[in-house]
């Protein structure tokens, strides 16, 4: 890996000091998250996921109706992201059935709880 690629990878995927740190995950994990969302969308008459960013001082959960779901590979080989209704999603803030998708799909984040409004804030 050359230094330029390493630096870009470091900036995209390391510290929680950078916003959007769960936007780009490995193809394996994004595929799994995408497939779960696609299955949920196909099986639910009004598929809704929850968006909640505690570190952004959100005071309420924002429901998002899954109208369009896209998988897009990243320019760095081996990474990809999910777009919902044309907007790139940060899985750290996305919940399906109360479970945080960032945690579920191997994004090491400490800015979001594993469950939405669970009894333990940062499990």
pLDDT tens figures, 40-61: 999 999 999 999 988 888 889 9
Rounded Cα distance between 108 and 105, Å, is 9
Assigned domain for 11 exists: no
pTM value is 0.78
Tally the residues of the chain.
123
Q: Is residue 34 part of a domain?
A: yes
Q: What is the pLDDT of residues 83-121, one digit of tens each?
A: 999 999 999 999 999 999 999 999 887 778 888 876 444
Residue 3 within any structural domain of the chain: no
Based on the structure, what is the number of domains in the chain?
1
Domain extent, residue 94, equals 23-123
* 97 assigned to some structural domain: yes
- Taking the CA atoms of the chain, what radius of gyration do you get in angstroms? 14
Flag whether 14 is in a domain: no
Residue spans of alpha helices (H) in 80-123: 101-104
């Amino acid at each position: 890996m050359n230094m330029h690629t390493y630096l870009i990878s470091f900036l995209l995927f390391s510290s929680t000091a950078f916003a959007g740190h769960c936007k780009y995950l490995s193809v394996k994990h994004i595929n799994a998250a995408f497939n779960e969302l696609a299955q949920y969308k196909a099986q639910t008459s009004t598929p809704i996921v929850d968006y909640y960013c505690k570190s952004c001082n959100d005071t309420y959960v924002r429901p998002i109706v899954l109208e369009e779901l896209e998988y897009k590979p990243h320019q760095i080989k081996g990474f990809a992201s999910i777009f919902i209704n044309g907007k790139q999603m940060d899985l750290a803030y996305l919940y399906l059935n109360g479970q945080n998708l960032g945690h579920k799909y191997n994004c090491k984040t400490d800015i979001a709880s594993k469950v939405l409004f669970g009894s333990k804030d940062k499990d």
